[in-house]
């Protein structure tokens, strides 16, 4: 009997021990899961949740709700409570060293709006370089412009002082390259596409040859030496055939030119008309759109001066429907770097050409605003 009582007591003690262990082990786990669930409902990431609980900042986070910047601060282990109010106002950018850069910018006295503009308009390396810059008082004036670049900030300031342009025009012209002289320290164009930009600030390699060059049929050219990139050629033929329906005759007068061809063209016109002429109408080798195989000089079959022809009038109204734009319109030399050329057209595709036509915009403006990232 006594043995049974002892066994019963042992079982009872074991049961109590199990219950106690359950309380010690599982209740904290359950409570932690409860807290994690609260943060998950706020849409915080797993990494952030772990750090929030570790730093005992649950109440803080519950009070502010979800913030992407706060989430990333915790998940990367960079959260500092003294910057909490700033985190809520900042735009998060997935840069290496984002929080280190942000903290330093805030310590320098930049506002949250200014910090967001700085980190969204520059890469990590550009932001780090900017940190060595003395505090910029007018940073918002330039970086509030969507297509501004942090790396060009000093150039914006200097150009505006010299030229007295407004902020948007300053950003546009500096991004194009007008704070430098023509052909000075150009950008080397490494990647080919239909939207390639080649001008007095963007240079092609000497050995660059565009893909898919095809010869232009003699029925559509002044001679049998003309070549175009196939996509531009097909578009021109389609356009020329449509013009023929109205008894208008478009011919390719000049098309693809190699680097060496352009050397000869430049020298020829310089000897014939002088330096002032070539500075406005002829580009140096490597800087000519003709080397892309996407540019054409158009001629009317029966009229010597293209700008005086009915073909020109038709082209002005219809070229965009076939993907072509007049590259150097009137009164645009301060943007394109080239004088007005009624005959020079560039293939960009129907959608882009139509956008430029409808918005009365040069390709330099479009490229800077939307493509040059």
Confidence band for 31, pLDDT divided at 50, 70 and 90? low
Q: Are residues 202 and 328 in the same domain?
A: yes
The answer as to whether 342 is a domain residue is yes
- pTM metric for this prediction: 0.87
Q: Are residues 61 and 198 in the same domain?
A: no
pLDDT above 70 for 264 = yes
- How many domains is the chain built from? 3
Q: Are residues 232 and 366 in the same domain?
A: yes
Q: Are residues 246 and 280 in the same domain?
A: yes
Q: Are residues 169 and 32 in the same domain?
A: no
Two structure tokens written together for 297: 């000089």
The answer as to whether 97 is a domain residue is no
Q: Are residues 174 and 198 in the same domain?
A: no
Confidence band for 32, pLDDT divided at 50, 70 and 90? confident
pLDDT above 80 for 216 = yes
Instruction: Look at residue 20 in the predicted model and tell me its pLDDT.
Output: 57
The answer as to whether 10 is a domain residue is yes
Q: Are residues 81 and 195 in the same domain?
A: no
| Segment 206-220 mean pLDDT | 96
The answer to whether the CB of 195 falls within 8 A of the CB of 211 is no
pLDDT cut 70: percent of the chain above it: 92
Q: Are residues 61 and 131 in the same domain?
A: no
Which of 54, 88, 122 is the endpoint of a domain? 88
pLDDT above 80 for 322 = yes
* 18: containing domain: 1-88
Phi, psi (degrees; rounded to nearest 5) at 369:
-75, -35
The answer as to whether 249 is a domain residue is yes
Which of 135, 155, 179 is the endpoint of a domain? 179
């Amino acid at each position: 009997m006594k043995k049974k009582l002892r066994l019963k007591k042992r079982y009872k003690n074991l049961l109590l021990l199990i219950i106690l262990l359950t309380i010690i082990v599982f209740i904290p786990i359950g409570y932690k899961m409860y807290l994690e669930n609260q943060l998950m409902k706020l849409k915080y990431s797993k990494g952030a949740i772990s750090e929030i609980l570790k730093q005992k900042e649950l109440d803080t986070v519950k009070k502010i709700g979800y913030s992407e910047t706060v989430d990333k601060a915790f998940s990367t282990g960079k959260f500092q409570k003294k910057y909490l109010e700033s985190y809520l106002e900042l735009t998060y950018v997935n840069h290496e060293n984002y929080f280190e850069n942000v903290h330093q910018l805030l310590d320098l006295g930049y506002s949250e709006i200014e910090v967001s503009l700085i980190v969204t308009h520059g890469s990590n390396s550009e932001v780090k370089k900017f940190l060595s810059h003395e505090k910029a008082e007018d940073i918002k004036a330039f970086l509030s412009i969507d297509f501004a670049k942090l790396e060009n900030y000093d150039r914006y300031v200097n150009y505006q002082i010299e030229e007295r342009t407004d902020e948007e025009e300053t950003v546009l012209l500096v991004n194009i390259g007008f704070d430098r002289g023509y052909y000075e320290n150009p950008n080397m164009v490494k990647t080919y596409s239909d939207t390639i930009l080649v001008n007095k600030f963007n240079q092609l390699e000497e050995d660059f040859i565009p893909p898919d060059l095809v010869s232009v049929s003699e029925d559509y050219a002044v001679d049998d030496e003309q070549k175009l990139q196939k996509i531009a050629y097909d578009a021109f033929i389609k356009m020329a055939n449509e013009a023929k329906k109205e008894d208008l005759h478009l011919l390719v007068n000049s098309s693809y030119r190699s680097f060496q061809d352009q050397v000869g063209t430049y020298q020829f016109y310089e000897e014939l008309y002088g330096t002032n002429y070539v500075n406005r109408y002829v580009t140096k080798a490597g800087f000519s759109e003709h080397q892309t195989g996407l540019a054409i000089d158009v001629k009317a079959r029966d009229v010597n001066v293209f700008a005086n022809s009915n073909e020109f009038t038709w082209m002005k109204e219809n070229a965009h429907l076939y993907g072509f734009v007049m590259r150097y319109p009137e009164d645009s030399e301060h943007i394109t770097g080239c004088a007005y050329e009624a005959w020079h057209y560039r293939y960009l595709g129907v959608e882009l050409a139509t956008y430029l036509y409808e918005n009365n915009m040069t390709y330099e403006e479009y490229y800077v605003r939307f493509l040059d990232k």
